[in-house]
Structure 1
Amino acid sequence: MNKHSVHQLILEKLQADLEVAQRAAQTAYETATHEENIAENKYDTLGLEASYLAAGQAKRVEEIRQSLVLCQNLTLRPYDEQQGIQVGTLLGLEDDEGRQQWLFLGPDAAGLKVYLVGQLITVITPRSPLGKSLLGKFEGDEVEIVVAGTRQQFAVTEVV
């Protein structure tokens, strides 16, 4: 696995998501401000609903833009054997049932998924329970988190 390739895929995905969100926000704004959507009586709420949608779309655009900027400003460093897992680390995990997954510990964009050579890689952040538990860990270490009352254990199998 190459974390520079993963980072580039994340940036490309965020850029594409931003473009889609901007188009959706523009369409919602145009719908909200179109003359046909002016309320004719107190029960005519199409314009109001469209304005709520436009506000939500604008917020989503700003969230993606912020994620993109944070990820663009991320300086990828080689894995440091002294510090362990840090933001910008690509790592493999295995749960106690033998299922493996690849994660990229990013500054933002939690939940974003990209594929590199057919392998799914999920972005997590230090704000998540798993991300917080992984900080400072090393290859071979185990981490344990409790989610909704269920204890989950993972072994760090590979660190890039």
Structure 2
Amino acid sequence: MDKFFLQQQVLQRLAEDLLQAEQAAREAHETATHEENIAENKYDTLGLEAAYLATGQSRRAEAIREAMADWRRFRPRPYDAGKGIELGSLVSLVDSDDQQQQIFLGPAGGSMKLVSGDLLVQVISSEAPLGRAMLGKCEGDEVSIQGAPIRQQFEVLRVL
């Protein structure tokens, strides 16, 4: 599995998300400033609500731009067993029900699912609970995270 290809998919998805956020911010701004939405009394809050929405969408767009910059600078390295799992590792995990999953550990802002061939790859950051738990682990090690009602346990099958 090609990490560079996965990185390009993340950047493409982030670019799509950015376009949507920018469009939503523009529409909310237009709604907030449209002459029909000028408040006639203190209970008329449509313009104010739209302004809050425009601000939120603008912040979302800026967060996506920052994530894109992080992903552009990101250079995944080959797996080094001496260092264990680190940012850029592509990890195959198996849970207690023998269900396998592929995890690509990347910079923040790229939490998404991608398709590579016939495999589904979950992209997470080292800030996510599973990402933190995997750092430094090697093939054959156990990884566990505490979910709301139960503790989930995984075995590291393979790392690239």
C-alpha distance in structure 2 between counterparts of 1:19 and 1:138, whole Å: 39
Residue 19 of structure 2: aligned partner: 19
C-alpha distance in structure 1 between counterparts of 2:140 and 2:109, whole Å: 26
Q: Which runs of 5+ in 1 are unaligned?
A: none
C-alpha distance in structure 2 between counterparts of 1:67 and 1:74, whole Å: 10
Residue 133 of structure 2: aligned partner: 133
C-alpha distance in structure 2 between counterparts of 1:135 and 1:66, whole Å: 23
Task: After superposition, give the CA deviation of every residue in 1:23-64 in whole Å (9 maximum; x if it has no partner).
Answer: 111111111111111101111111011111111111110111
Shift of 1:110: 4.7
Residue 79 of structure 1: aligned partner: 79
| Number of aligned positions between the proteins | 160
C-alpha distance in structure 2 between counterparts of 1:3 and 1:40, whole Å: 56
C-alpha distance in structure 1 between counterparts of 2:110 and 2:96, whole Å: 23
Residue 46 of structure 2: aligned partner: 46
Residue 112 of structure 2: aligned partner: 112
Q: How does 1:86-101 map to 2 (within 5 A)?
A: 86-101=86-101
Task: After superposition, give the CA deviation of every residue in 1:107-158 in whole Å (9 maximum; x if it has no partner).
Answer: 1125322111132211111112211110111112111111224111001112
Q: Which runs of 4+ in 1 moved over 4 A?
A: none
Asked if the contact 2:10/2:110 (under 8 Å) is kept, the reply is: no
Q: How does 1:27-38 map to 2 (within 5 A)?
A: 27-38=27-38
| Seq. identity, % | 50
C-alpha distance in structure 2 between counterparts of 1:73 and 1:82, whole Å: 24
Residue 158 of structure 1: aligned partner: 158
TM-score when normalising by structure 2: 0.94
AA of the residue aligned to 1:50: A
C-alpha distance in structure 2 between counterparts of 1:133 and 1:42, whole Å: 51
C-alpha distance in structure 1 between counterparts of 2:154 and 2:89, whole Å: 16
TM-score when normalising by structure 1: 0.94
Q: Which runs of 5+ in 2 are unaligned?
A: none
Asked if the contact 1:109/1:123 (under 8 Å) is kept, the reply is: no
Asked if the contact 1:140/1:156 (under 8 Å) is kept, the reply is: yes
Residue 58 of structure 1: aligned partner: 58
